[in-house]
Structure 1
Amino acid sequence: MRHPLRHLSLRLRLVLAGALAVVLALGLAALGLSLLFGTHVERRAQAELSMQLDQVLAGLARKDGALTLAREPADPRFGQPYGGLYWQIVDGDRVLRSRSLWDYRLPQMDDLGDGLTHSHHLPGPDGAPLLVVERQVQLPQSLGGDRIQASVAVEAGSLEAARQDFLADMLPYLALLALVLIAAGGAQVMVGLKPLRELGVRVTALRQGTARRMGEDWPKEVRPLATEIDALITAREADIDRARARAGDLAHGMKTPLQALMGEAGRLRRAGEAQSAAGIETIARVLQRHVDRELARTRAAARARDARADVGQVVRGVIAVLRRTPEGSGLDWQSRIAPGLVAAMEEGDLAEAFGALAENAARHARDQVTIAAAMAGDGLIHLSLTDDGPGIAQGQLTALTARGARLDQGGSGLGLAIASDFAEAAGGGLHLENTGAGLRAELRLPPAPPDRAGDQAIS
């Protein structure tokens, strides 16, 4: 089973991958910044609590032999029950605490003998977590000289709320940054994949015959592929040239044996073996016809590479000739030829192929022959002749259009074999169909590439 992502274009895959990477990266950045901000807020809170602790210790006094807090800290939250900010002093079994603690006693840590300030996360009133800063202090003799433990705490929820607010304020900017980065990544993908789009366009131009080679003007990552395609085209052209040369050599080589057969048939006829001579002559003529056709196809294919034929001009010339023949003079010749059509054929070959079809149409048409030519969606020139004759019997048409069928079998005299040979040699073909009011024969021909200057511009 094929993975559904295989159907996605490279452009969409890269854009999606880039977008996912941007979202993940910014998500991690948001998490990291949030944690850093939370750490910074906690440090600031610890510093403020340490100052509050110093204020609490500075306000200690002795009254009637008992330790008391003569000056309360200025922050009003200390005087509000469960106000979120608390202080506590433990002097032996006696506990002094802020009004905000009410009847709650802050938990104490036992390892504070170094006299330094320590911070902890401890449970507070109603189980709310607290950030506690505490210190063990040796009081001076004026205050009794006792060792006390002083603590100041703030609810940690306020710190978490500050971190959440920071994250909420940061998210819109991160989303905007994500959109900008994704758009920039999409633009980068478009620019980066542009050579691949041009590669497809150039391959299409090669297939349609509007370019001869891929050329060298490619980025270094794509240039090896273009070079290999050009090398493959060169090797294919060389193979085709060799095959054409061998076919031509074979056809030429058969001429002498055929002439010898015809001479042998003449000798037999003079010797009174007329029946044997007729059989040999029939076979020799069939072979000669095949040889002539192969030679014509070889010549046409060899010329087709750089050949150019103006379709409209050739059609007009053939019609002008047929109008002066007995069969064509009485017909209504209608033509719709798109301007600027140039086929990759020699004008003589196109005239012979089209002339064979036109003669056939003139021979079988009753009153009218319609000719049309235009560039079709398959990249080929479609040159069609439609007559109003009887057409071809459906059984014979099916046999003629079957793969591997021979168009010259049966001595039909339709000229289809000649037209098909020249069209196939040029890289096109012949299509036949009954229209209900006659036969439609259509030559499908490759367009000629631009002239040499145009070629250079493309490649």
Structure 2
Amino acid sequence: MSRRPDSPFGFLNSLRGRLIAASLLTLPLFTGASGLLLERAFKDSLIAGELEQLQSQFYVLLGAAELQDGELYMPEQLPDPRYSNINSGLYGQIAIATGGEPVWQVQWQSGSARLLDQPLPVSKAPYRLNYKRLSSDKKLFRFTRDLQWLDADDRPISLRVEIFHSRDSYKQQLKTYRQQLWYGLALLSMGLLLIQLAILAWGLRPLRRLTRQIRRLPGTPRQRLSGRYPDEIRPLTDSLNDLLGSEQQQRERYKNTLGDLAHSLKTPLAILQGEVQQQQQNLPLMREQLERMGAIIRHQLQRAVLQTDQKRHSDIDIAPIAERLCAAMSKVYRDKNIHFDIDILANTRYPIESQDLFEMLGNLIENACKYGQDQVTIRAATLAESLLITVADNGPGVASEQRHTILQRGARADTAQPGQGIGLAVATDIISAYRGSLDITRSKSLGGAEFQVRLPLTNHQ
């Protein structure tokens, strides 16, 4: 089902839209998670610093305290003046445990805590030697440390030292850090998004170049994608080039097939035309040529689609087809009164499509009749690994510099003779399809041209 053009998610139909949407979704999540982790780490560092400062204050108070006759004495002026300044944000108190079940009684409290809205709380937790703890509420950090002193009579006295520190400084530092952190992460996210857009444009550039090349293909003589592409796109361009090459070969095969079809029908039509002009018409011969024309048409249409070298065929007798072709050519070239010499053993066979054999051998025999004088020899013999077929005539022969040229489509050695220069090209195509070869030499017995066809036997076994 196709996507509607006005769909709100239509941008997801493009790679750019998908990547941008993925970035817009993942980047805030990643940035938010990073911000929370960094904020948590900063909080932990602030609390660790607070604990270290309050422990230092604990040793300050412990160093200033004196215990005489079970009473605790503290000097009026402590090393840190904040203990004396009212509402300074730093407060301290020391309690002594009394009774069988310890009850904590505050023995000393710093002057800075005198005018607080609420008095400093007294911990009721049970005594634990060397116990220390950092806690906090909305306004104050609270550091608690339990210890034991010995008086002058070596009696143990349980003490609890508590130090309170305002959270205002902590809150202000955290607020400042949060502002800097989130502003910085926001700017960093915007920068990363812009960089990602630039990288996206740079990464998709080969696809845009590929699109432009594909659009220009219909107007180019050689329809093929060129240029260097990334490794991820190269398989696509290679596949497209293979597809374009196959399509060009298919069109060329269609074009050649039309030419081959016209050329193949020329001889049967010439025979029919000759019979029509005769007073006594040979109806069986005309019927045979009409059937042959139908077979030629079906065969050429099949060759336009299928590859001959991928098919397996049954063995075909060479001699009967050569005889039928010579009989047909004798009617086409009856004014030359050509003598045909067929030297082919009865059991000479080859696995080939019968129509391919008709086309190949017929074009070679017709060429010999056209350019020879009055003698044509056809021979076939099975060698060790191939079938050798030779067609020779007593004509002028083919010059050595033209032997390769005349095998090309549209080329002819003698332009004075009628024809389109297709017959030998058709024969060459068929021979190539069967992995064979075609050579042109001079006939030793007749003195004219001799065409030697070698078809391998191993490929068809």
TM-score normalised by length of structure 2: 0.49
Larger Rg: 2
Point out the structure with the larger helix share.
Answer: 1
